[in-house]
Amino acid sequence: MSEKKRIKWKLNLFDIGLLVVVLVAAAGLLAWKFVGSHQTEVDPNSGVTVPKGTHVVRYVVELEQVHKQTADMIAVGDEIYERTKKELMGTVETVEVSPAKTLTKNELQGTFQFVEVPERYNVVMNVTAQAVDNEDGIVLESGLEVRAGTSVRVLGPGYYGAGYILSVERG
């Protein structure tokens, strides 16, 4: 009973297939790591290194009827995000604050006119971000699609607001 039983392993078709799959997956991972993930180029406008295929997009966002405290918190250099999906929208380049106005009907004269909304302000921000073009339009690196007229909810450091994208310019 001192005999030891040895299990002999024979190479079969299933083992060869499994080995091929593992080797192909490893080769693909190495190729992506050393070749595909380092495809960058220098943006001629800004001199910054960016992923290939991306370009700078500048667009204008208007936040409507925000409080004075919110308008005062928005600063140049803030990174802003889309509030619900938390997708990066870009960096604030300029900020313009003006009194909020709304269109109302003058019942006595039967005309429409713009009237200031008390204690509310509109904030117009110029934003820049890296984006790619695809068949749907301009898509930021974060995945957010940018189109003029789109409503957005903006989240910044310590503030948020709702408004619209007024214009988009490829950079």
pLDDT tens-digit readout, 35-87: 655 555 555 555 554 455 678 889 999 999 999 999 999 999 999 998 888 88
Whole-prediction pTM: 0.66
Residues 90, 163, single domain; the answer is: yes
Nearest to 92 by CA among 117, 71, 66: 71
Helix (H) or strand (E) holding 33: helix 13-34
Residue 70 is assigned to a structural domain of this protein: yes
Residue 4 is assigned to a structural domain of this protein: no
Nearest to 112 by CA among 121, 120, 102, 122: 102
Distance, CA of 73 to CA of 50 (rounded, Å): 29
**What domain range is 157 assigned to?**
43-170
**What domain count does the chain have?**
2
Residue 1 is assigned to a structural domain of this protein: no
Nearest to 58 by CA among 89, 12, 27, 86: 89
Residues 17, 75, single domain; the answer is: no
